[in-house]
Structure 1
Amino acid sequence: MMTDFTRRDLIAAPALLALATRSAAIGPRDPFTLGVASGDPWPDGMVLWTRLAPDPLTSDGGMPARPVPVRWELAADPQFRRLLRHGTAIAEPAWGHSVHVELTGLLPGRPYWYRFIAGGAVSPVGRTRTAPTPGAKVDRARFCYGSCQKWEVGYYSAYHHMVAEDPDMILFLGDYIYEGAPEKGQVRLHANPEPKDVPGYRVRYAQYKTDPLLQAAHAAAPWVTTWDDHEVANDYADDLDEKNSDPMAFLKRRAAAYHVYYEHLPLRAHARPAPDGLTTLYRTIDWGGLAQFQVVDDRQFRSHRACQPPELIAAHKQYQVYVPDCPEIHDPRRTMLGSAQEAWLNGKLGSSRARWNLLTQQTLMTTLKRVDPDHPKSPEPVYSGDTWSTYQPARDRILQRWADARTPNPIALGGDIHSFFAGDMRLSPDGPPIAAEFVGGSITSLFHDPYLKLEAARSGGTYSENEVRGYGRVDLTPEVAEITFRGVRDATKPMSDIFDVKRFTVEAGRPGIAETA
């Protein structure tokens, strides 16, 4: 849709005339090919996002190498008859001509609609909302969460159904993109080689964001996001990638990936990477008095992998994915979150008065006793070097904090492992449940492990499923949390049907899973 400013607008507002004149330099092509998004809702505002990219699969998006003004508008209705707020943001080439507008001063707990205007073009309309007033009584809320949306192995039909759920908020728990080189024979191919710098990551993100179903999900509700490994490189840990490359070279790549991650998602200014490449991604999102989401980053500050032969690191060789038990796994000095983030989380878990507290993180927290793929008949289990299974004291410190602080009704949400998983979390095998854990599957990514169900069962899991793609839905009331795993019939089809894979109930005041259906 195209629009022109009226003559009255241009006479009355010289700044608007300058905006129209300068924005026209973009050219006749639609600059809003990547859609719109909102995120991180708070009681009086949220972040509004877009990125100008008339030619999205080029490193500069087809934009001129100069700042471009973008008008934004917020309304009380989708037709924009009641325009409430408007302004101008500057899309800078250094940030891929992305726009992040942080709004404040709005009313709590209500929907809003927004759009952008640049170069005479009007963006799609997005719907967002503010969070309820802090501590307010909230009778019910619905949130959906997902992760792992590898472009090449499937379509995003899950998002079509997620939008139909009409969630108050969508949580994305990592692997927004996959960084690998194109693989022949896939459902659809990555458009560029494996990215390792800002131009490469821009093309990869832009390709993902051209998907109409992903755009529709972003336009339907505010998102809260964190990253996992594939936003940078597979299974990286702090300054080491999976091949133990030179840390200085890898940190340069990581800084580029973090930069482009911020460019493409509706994040607050505090998440904007610093000149040294470091980013503060962890934060809380409060939903009145009903829920608090503690959103963490378990990649940037984690200790190096446990039980690795020193010669692998010295020779820059592939790390050992599955490791036998070793002293490092139980070393309390090792961390998943880093000391500063861990201290922050301890404070939040001790101070939260929300009815439900949802640890919003990337991966499986339960220690999974894996079958050694090289010795499947061995009675001795092995452990994944990339999950909390090899950072057990760091995980147990969170469980202990939940118990000591009497954090109200803790629940852990996760992604990463391309599987659904549900179970109770305990400090010892015979101890009482402290929290329930729900890993929400994957949007498209695959994990055909013939041993997973066996491994999950012998590790204390209540349920596991690794052959179905989908997402999790969380329905909260003050009395009950209902978590439903939703699975698409066939992720290789653009518009697959969906079904309930499994449903779980957690009762307030009773840690752990109360019922399954």
Structure 2
Amino acid sequence: MKSVLPSTLALSRRQLLRGAGSLAVAALAIPVAPRLAFGAVNFIDYPFQLGVASGEPWPDGFVIWTRLAPRPLEPGYGMSSDIIPVDWEVAEDRLFRKVVTKGTGLAHPELGHAVHVEVSGLLPGRPYWYRFRCGDHRSMQGRAVTAPAAGAPLSKLRFGIAGCQNYDQGLFTAFDHLAREEVDFIYHYGDYIYEGQSRPFYFSRHLEDTVASPRRADLPDPVSLDEYRRRYAKYKLDTDLQKAHAAAPWIAVWDDHEIVDNWASDFNWDNTPPDIFRLRRAAAAQAYYEHLPFRRSSLPDGARMQLFRKFAFGDLVDMHVLDTRQYRSDQPCRDGFRPACPDVDNPNLTVLGEAQEKWLFDGLTQGKARFNLLAQQVMLMPCDREPGEANVRNLDTWDPYRVARARLLKHIQGNNIRNTVVLTGDEHQNIVGNVIFDDKDPNSAVVASEFVVTSISSGGDGGEQRPAAKGMLAENPHIKLINDQRGYGICEVTPKHLTMDLKVLDQVTTPGGKLSSRAKFAVDPGKPGVQKG
């Protein structure tokens, strides 16, 4: 689908003075002439310190992003309230010998001087290179890849999966390695930032009590827009993260820590009144939009942000990106890791909300690709977290929303959708298994496959397994692997198989972590369930 706004304009001074409405940038449609800066723009420091990024790959283009921030960690980030023109160009080669499109975007102070350009008119299924210029300063260059034409025969698709990058708990070494992988895109499942300082884990006695902190963000827990902006800036100053953004387009969605731990809809764990919590959500949503390469269709409206969407990659993959936070009912049974209570069978509880659920069901039914991917945040598979009679559940997963989960699985099974693969994060572990129809019957039919991909840094160095892992595997025979190392996933899809390579690091609390492949699994498009790859 093409943007409704043109994206390749060569603008004169007079055209710029007419306003920002004609530019394909994520900017507010307001009169701009009184505050539009012309001539030489003098920055107190290099303005592109937060790097560049691309995202939202479509067959004819993608979004390219940057943000002007000469002093990113200071209030006001070293910028005036002027609207700043930023030039951009896209080329077919990394040396920019053949520039195929270029234009000017406007960096609005209302959006933290971020620029989102929706580039269109490109060829499908090929790489491009892009960069920005403002005044005498040029940004680093990035690589983006257009999606193959929808329905076109495709021999292979290769992409990365990453998320949960707690700045306080580890280095972003995994992003350095991921940037060197030759991938078509990177799916980021959420927890791009962590809103709080590192604290002891409180969920379960089987988790470690503390995590060594190799570095500190040294920022207050964010509540205001300015505080969230500084939190993102701290993360985006990391050069390994910048490399991963510059290497490939991202498809991103939030989880909880972009706002606050374990939030759901208007509910916060500390019982903040919903109308007050929505103010914090609005600040967090704007900062999230300002720092990721989203299309204008995701520009927040107060606390609301459109994040569920679909991407098609040839005839191989239909990717449904889900938002399991914004429309969810509050967690029943007091949240945390504890035995389930009767409320888990409440038919009124929802994870996706009515509109998103209908959108997903329609998309799954109508899809014709070899694989349907559900790219989401919290684990869909049922999982008893402790051996014995206790039946402890993580109540911030699909587990306490049993009726909503059953409705999804019934739709998949009832429509004979045998190629569903769920991509998940949140757990800070690699967990691989089969999504079974009845969580009370271990011999129940397999409906889908699920890959829970471990964290970039959250949880620190970790190890092969947590103390409870062996008991969890015995208690949950549909789960095939539990691993507690940091890293990312590489997914490769062909007409015959989807394979997942789980890459892990031996350490993240000190530099130089070595990368290895922990395990490989495969999924057949005609038969749900994971197999050793």
Query: What is the TM-score normalised by the length of structure 2?
Result: 0.88
Pairing 1:139–2:146 present: no
Equivalent residue in structure 2 for 1:224, among 251, 273, 282: 251
Pairing 1:503–2:504 present: no
Equivalent residue in structure 1 for 2:311, among 271, 285, 288: 285
Who is 2:389 aligned against?
A: 379
Who is 2:81 aligned against?
A: 65
Equivalent residue in structure 2 for 1:245, among 272, 277, 284: 272
Instruction: Kindly report which structure 2 residues correspond to 1:396-475, keeping only aligned pairs within 5 A, or say none.
Output: 396-428=406-438, 429=441, 430-446=443-459, 449-475=466-492
Pairing 1:74–2:90 present: yes
Who is 2:339 aligned against?
A: 324
Instruction: Please say which of residues 395-404 and 265-274 is displaced more in the overlay.
Output: 395-404
**In 2, Cα distance between the equivalents of 1:327 and 1:21?**
61
User: Could you report, residue by residue, the CA deviation over 1:437-484 in whole angstroms, capped at 9, with x for unpaired residues?
Assistant: 000111011187521342244123433334300111101100011111
Instruction: Please say which of residues 15-24 and 225-234 is displaced more in the overlay.
Output: 15-24
Distance 1:408 1:367, change over 3 A: closer
User: Could you report, residue by residue, the CA deviation over 1:201-253 in whole angstroms, capped at 9, with x for unpaired residues?
Assistant: 00000110011111011001000001100000001111111222222221111
Q: In structure 2, the residue corresponding to 1:434 is in which secondary structure?
A: strand
How far 1:378 moved relative to its partner?
A: 6.1
**In 1, Cα distance between the equivalents of 2:129 and 2:12?**
24
Equivalent pair of 1:191/1:204 in contact (CA under 8 Å) = no
Q: In structure 1, the residue corresponding to 2:175 is in which secondary structure?
A: helix
RMSD: 2.2
How far 1:185 moved relative to its partner?
A: 6.4
Who is 1:43 aligned against?
A: 59
**In 2, Cα distance between the equivalents of 1:300 and 1:17?**
37
User: Could you report, residue by residue, the CA deviation over 1:69-123 in whole angstroms, capped at 9, with x for unpaired residues?
Assistant: 1111111111111111111111111111000111121111111110111121000
**In 2, Cα distance between the equivalents of 1:13 and 1:362?**
45
Who is 1:205 aligned against?
A: 232
User: Could you report, residue by residue, the CA deviation over 1:159-192 in whole angstroms, capped at 9, with x for unpaired residues?
Assistant: 1221222111100001000000367962110131
Who is 1:388 aligned against?
A: 398
Equivalent pair of 1:23/1:120 in contact (CA under 8 Å) = no
Who is 2:47 aligned against?
A: 31
Amino acid at match of 2:446: P
Amino acid at match of 1:263: E
Pairing 1:262–2:279 present: no
Who is 1:233 aligned against?
A: 260
Equivalent residue in structure 1 for 2:372, among 327, 334, 357: 357
User: Could you report, residue by residue, the CA deviation over 1:411-446 in whole angstroms, capped at 9, with x for unpaired residues?
Assistant: 000000101000011112322211110001110111
Distance 1:265 1:169, change over 3 A: same
Distance 1:147 1:457, change over 3 A: farther
How far 1:493 moved relative to its partner?
A: 2.4
Equivalent pair of 2:41/2:134 in contact (CA under 8 Å) = no
Instruction: Kindly report which structure 2 residues correspond to 1:288-303, keeping only aligned pairs within 5 A, or say none.
Output: 288-303=314-329
**In 1, Cα distance between the equivalents of 2:172 and 2:46?**
23
Equivalent pair of 1:182/1:192 in contact (CA under 8 Å) = no
Equivalent pair of 1:239/1:251 in contact (CA under 8 Å) = yes
**In 1, Cα distance between the equivalents of 2:469 and 2:286?**
35
Q: How many residues align?
A: 489
Distance 1:14 1:305, change over 3 A: closer
Equivalent pair of 1:156/1:494 in contact (CA under 8 Å) = no
How far 1:59 moved relative to its partner?
A: 3.3
Who is 1:159 aligned against?
A: 175
Instruction: Please say which of residues 177-186 and 109-118 is displaced more in the overlay.
Output: 177-186
Amino acid at match of 1:444: S
Q: In structure 1, the residue corresponding to 2:359 is in which secondary structure?
A: helix
Equivalent pair of 1:143/1:168 in contact (CA under 8 Å) = yes
**In 2, Cα distance between the equivalents of 1:254 and 1:237?**
11
Q: In structure 2, the residue corresponding to 1:214 is in which secondary structure?
A: helix
Amino acid at match of 1:480: H
Equivalent pair of 1:46/1:102 in contact (CA under 8 Å) = yes
Distance 1:423 1:115, change over 3 A: same
Equivalent pair of 2:83/2:108 in contact (CA under 8 Å) = yes
**In 2, Cα distance between the equivalents of 1:171 and 1:132?**
17
Who is 1:125 aligned against?
A: 141
How far 1:61 moved relative to its partner?
A: 1.9
Distance 1:76 1:16, change over 3 A: farther
Unaligned ranges ≥5, structure 2:
1-9, 18-32, 200-210
**In 1, Cα distance between the equivalents of 2:51 and 2:418?**
38
Equivalent pair of 2:37/2:83 in contact (CA under 8 Å) = no
Distance 1:17 1:198, change over 3 A: closer
Q: In structure 2, the residue corresponding to 1:431 is in which secondary structure?
A: coil
Equivalent pair of 1:322/1:384 in contact (CA under 8 Å) = yes
Q: In structure 2, the residue corresponding to 1:86 is in which secondary structure?
A: strand
Equivalent pair of 2:89/2:103 in contact (CA under 8 Å) = yes
How far 1:133 moved relative to its partner?
A: 0.7
Amino acid at match of 1:474: C
**In 2, Cα distance between the equivalents of 1:23 and 1:419?**
52
**In 1, Cα distance between the equivalents of 2:227 and 2:48?**
20
Instruction: Please say which of residues 132-141 and 494-503 is displaced more in the overlay.
Output: 494-503
Q: In structure 2, the residue corresponding to 1:70 is in which secondary structure?
A: strand
Q: In structure 2, the residue corresponding to 1:467 is in which secondary structure?
A: strand
**In 2, Cα distance between the equivalents of 1:273 and 1:505?**
38
User: Could you report, residue by residue, the CA deviation over 1:484-509 in whole angstroms, capped at 9, with x for unpaired residues?
Assistant: 11101101123311001111011121
